Chain A
């Protein structure tokens, strides 16, 4: 049997079995295993991998939302954000094998010489170098990819009196330090760091940022980048700073309104999510998702820029004249809404630069207390002073209100009926209360007083009698109803939430007696003015607030603060009586009196509970009496110059703020007969008296004062005598030989008397009117006593003659 040649035969069945069954099965098993891994990756763990993919493939760029602005009620800008830039350098990318020449640093006439030196070192055509040196750029690059030997030569050449020639890192450092006004050595050190992100300067403004951009584009310095950021600007600097607050480096509100309404102002940052390749570059034409930033909303405050200025000016005035150790503050409130029109503190600051100790008083405190102290101790003192200036004493400070509190006691007494307008009180100068002798401010006693007289004279025994008549229950009831036991809830951070007082059960006869005239309890200024507003506005305790409305990005009003009456504390009738009494007080005590407006008010001088030699002087008032619109509280904490009585220290400021505010608000003055008679006042001589006393004397005649020189005693005044129009200014000289400031007399002929008056007053002159007392008609100035253009000492009286204009 011939053996079959197996080689030339197809596969045997055994081979086929091994191939088609065994090998195929093994391969199928492997394929099954691989397939499960494939499905696992593509389906089971897909989410995990997709998350990873998104993390690495997507880059998120944050778009900063613009912080909303803060406006005054007049819609002037108090705070606004602007775009600024952070300059960042990627030093590790700066290759130091390129040579640059700073054009401006080449010495005159040395271009030729420089070009030939460089052409020697760098083995380059001299003409080519020369051509580059003619550029008007900041820097020109001469050659790149230098060999190590050339780099060394350039270094030596540069050090050898050719500082205009520099390597890339030096050029970058020079350019940036020049533009950003930084120290060259510091920037150079940063340029030699070996990292990708070196912040050179933050908050760089547009004009400077543009210069950096030019530097980048002219020289191909792509390793410098500008990152957008925002910066908060306060165009009015310190104006209302204690109310506004300021923002931190991340644009977050830190104090004041900025903090209180941070969430409204902030907005929501947007972002651009884009696909990036493995090297972090954005892939063009690929996926990109943009979420726009939602800018913050803006807010309008009840603060009136002008009234705020009036108040701040008076605070400053008190500071100069009475030097209160704890500073001074003024609050102006709209009695009908509870809106705060102004809130001025002597310890203010510039929110553009909040760390700087700003006010003169705190500066001198810093100076005197840092003497001989270590740097750490000084830093501590500084931070203490900072928190003082960032705070807001008008809402955060507790003090004994003194006699201003009598408004509350009187209201309670009238409302409960324990006193009527015809009640009488007897004052012998001292009252024995359960064995404790309590004196009246007038040691000799007021004698017999009626209810109004008790208020006008601020008679303590009378108020102790009222307190006793009220009893602890009623007294505390009204104390609570007037909102004096708890924070007012004003929309500002830092309000004192707990005042100091005796509760009903703790009010013994002595405590009740002293509490009745404003001692023993300590409340905050905002609590007092809110309570007094309620006493005079018909009895309604209002919710004090600074937010008027919220505006969206397009300026549409999206939220308005509603007028919120907390409760009616006293009846309209009681309120009317209180107004009458308080007006009488102002009529009697002329310091706050203003011609043409009916003002009511109550002064206060309290001793500090723990330091009886320190006083708090204050004056609270409102106007006009016939239809109260504003309430004003003026407080000076421990005046150290001149009088410390509330009427003397704070009265003139109160009158001044009320007058300025009402006339600004368009409330027409109505002069009484007496006022008209006194439209012109004779100038008293204040020579020899202290500045503070002089101010008082003049204020009583409705005259303003302007101090020249640094002394405390008046040595001369201008005008020395004669009579001038109401509201004129007397210049007092406190130093001998001080030269009088000269002013030029303007022309006022042809103007109305009031316009002429204004014009001359603005020029620093005083006015004496000569003409019919009826100034309301169609009258014009027909002559002026000092000719136009003449130089006269400031304060000189110019007499103007006026007459009814006859139109021919």
Chain B
């Protein structure tokens, strides 16, 4: 305990406000990146339309109210936009002051969630009328903030062991708690965000190789503990989901998703024209909403969605590049990468490029609190963009 407290002191030692600037000129408070805002709003609007279309049949059949999902999601979107705009006014550097409480609060939530069981996993905290909340969503932001703080403060030492071990220590409880839920996909995303931030921050590649080796060892361990046939059947189901006589439960979502994409073809069946949403694809408004996009709007619509995400990542990276300080840059990178990775992995799952695991598509998948978190993060990015500095030639 004493050691870690000392380490913490060392880590946070240098985070004192800067007094001098050499090559950059800071505007006190500037205009936010309107292009980025526009991309976010387009994605949000697109997402809402698709939630309505995808949820229509399920809402009608199970809840007898075809507008049920879109009403809730719309409400969260409105609240989210207001929150985003308010947060864009809050100086991002302010969060540095609360970095430890933010992190510890996240850990606390991850403990609390273990007392809520739903669908055989403990990933959601029930908030009653507000719906459910995934602590892992919050944890992603918490990790981004604390990593950004540490990278910025310790930049000179990132090429040494300091560039790895403190980060590793912070991730261990997060990964441990999330595997208890269990929540593999969330863990992978947090690790991926953390990895990207550390890599950009300067952590030596050998540590990543070390981690990959450790991961490989763990996979082998899992294979040894679990049945080999379980692993082979999972791989078989992934590589050839239609290889069985019938579409069984294990491959149901994947197959229905592929059928939806295939049905859409290049031009799609037209907005609202999905057949797969009629109780074939389970919960089409959630993780597999992209399949409905493909079915209704075809490859064209899918490319449009991908392009919007690419633009979002591009603008996010621009904001990072123009951030006045390393904290802002790393924060922008973390948030941008989070959205980017999630979108990529989601589409990978929907197209069966990777085995099925629960990853939602930002701005599209149904889920009010997740949307709220995403919009809040966009608010932070927008605030960073207000502080952009233009490099001198």
Q: Which A residues are within 8 Å of any B CB, using their own CB?
A: 2, 4-12, 14-16, 18-20, 22-24, 27, 30-31, 33-35, 37-43, 45-50, 52-53, 56-57, 275-279, 283, 286-287
Tell me if B63 counts as interface (CB < 8 A to partner A): no
User: Sorted from nearest, which 8 A-B pairs have the closest CB atoms?
Assistant: A49-B262, A8-B18, A278-B279, A277-B278, A37-B351, A37-B353, A41-B261, A278-B280
Which of B21, B294, B320, B329 sits near A38, CB closer than 8 Å?
B294
Contact B326 A31 (CB under 8 A): no
Count A/B pairs, Cβ under 8 Å: 170
Which of A23, A31, A277, A278 sits near B337, CB closer than 8 Å?
A23
Which of B23, B276, B313 sits near A27, CB closer than 8 Å?
B313
In the complex, how many angstroms separate the beta carbon of A398 from the nearest chain B beta carbon? 55
Q: How far is the CA of A283 from the CA of B15 in the complex (A)?
A: 62
Contact B266 A42 (CB under 8 A): yes
A and B contact pairs by CB, cutoff 8 A, 7 listed = A6-B326, A7-B15, A7-B18, A8-B17, A15-B201, A23-B196, A23-B337
In the complex, how many angstroms separate the beta carbon of B311 from the nearest chain A beta carbon? 13
**Given A18-B200, A19-B200, A42 and B317 touching (CB < 8 A)?**
no
Q: How far is the CA of A56 from the CA of B242 in the complex (A)?
A: 14
Q: Which residues of A contact B21 (CB under 8 A)?
A: 8-9
Contact B325 A34 (CB under 8 A): no
In the complex, how many angstroms separate the beta carbon of A114 from the nearest chain B beta carbon? 38
Residue of B nearest to A49 (CB): B262
Given pairs A6-B156, A19-B321, 19 additional interface contacts (CB within 8 A):
A6-B326, A8-B326, A10-B389, A11-B326, A15-B200, A15-B201, A18-B199, A37-B352, A42-B294, A42-B298, A45-B258, A46-B265, A50-B265, A52-B242, A52-B259, A56-B259, A57-B276, A57-B278, A279-B279
Tell me if B41 counts as interface (CB < 8 A to partner A): no
Contact A7 B265 (CB under 8 A): no
Q: Which residues of B contact A10 (CB under 8 A)?
A: 23-24, 321-326, 329, 389, 391
Q: How far is the CA of A8 from the CA of B153 in the complex (A)?
A: 9
Q: How far is the CA of A52 from the CA of B247 in the complex (A)?
A: 10
Q: Which residues of A contact B14 (CB under 8 A)?
A: 5, 7
Contact A6 B155 (CB under 8 A): yes
In the complex, how many angstroms separate the beta carbon of B158 from the nearest chain A beta carbon? 9
Q: How far is the CA of A142 from the CA of B299 in the complex (A)?
A: 57
Contact B265 A42 (CB under 8 A): yes
Q: How far is the CA of A598 from the CA of B249 in the complex (A)?
A: 86
Q: Which B residues are within 8 Å of any A CB, using their own CB?
A: 14-15, 17-24, 57, 61, 152-153, 155-156, 196, 199-202, 242, 255, 258-266, 275-276, 278-280, 294, 298-299, 302, 306, 310, 313, 317, 320-327, 329, 333, 337, 340-341, 344, 347-348, 351-353, 389, 391
Q: Which residues of A contact B259 (CB under 8 A)?
A: 49, 52-53, 56
Contact A31 B320 (CB under 8 A): no
Contact B340 A7 (CB under 8 A): no
Which of A7, A34, A40, A276 sits near B344, CB closer than 8 Å?
A34
Contact A35 B298 (CB under 8 A): no
Q: How far is the CA of A286 from the CA of B17 in the complex (A)?
A: 64
**Given A10-B323, A15-B202, A39 and B299 touching (CB < 8 A)?**
yes
Contact B347 A34 (CB under 8 A): yes
Q: Which residues of B contact A37 (CB under 8 A)?
A: 348, 351-353
Q: How far is the CA of A283 from the CA of B14 in the complex (A)?
A: 65
Q: How far is the CA of A10 from the CA of B310 in the complex (A)?
A: 23
Contact A57 B280 (CB under 8 A): yes
Q: How far is the CA of A410 from the CA of B17 in the complex (A)?
A: 137
Q: How far is the CA of A57 from the CA of B260 in the complex (A)?
A: 11
- Pick the most buried of A5, A10, A20, A39: most chain B CB atoms within 10 A of its CB: A10
Contact A31 B276 (CB under 8 A): no
Residue of B nearest to A35 (CB): B306
Residue of B nearest to A51 (CB): B262
In the complex, how many angstroms separate the beta carbon of A1 from the nearest chain B beta carbon? 12
Residue of B nearest to A283 (CB): B278
In the complex, how many angstroms separate the beta carbon of A310 from the nearest chain B beta carbon? 64
Q: Which residues of A contact B298 (CB under 8 A)?
A: 42
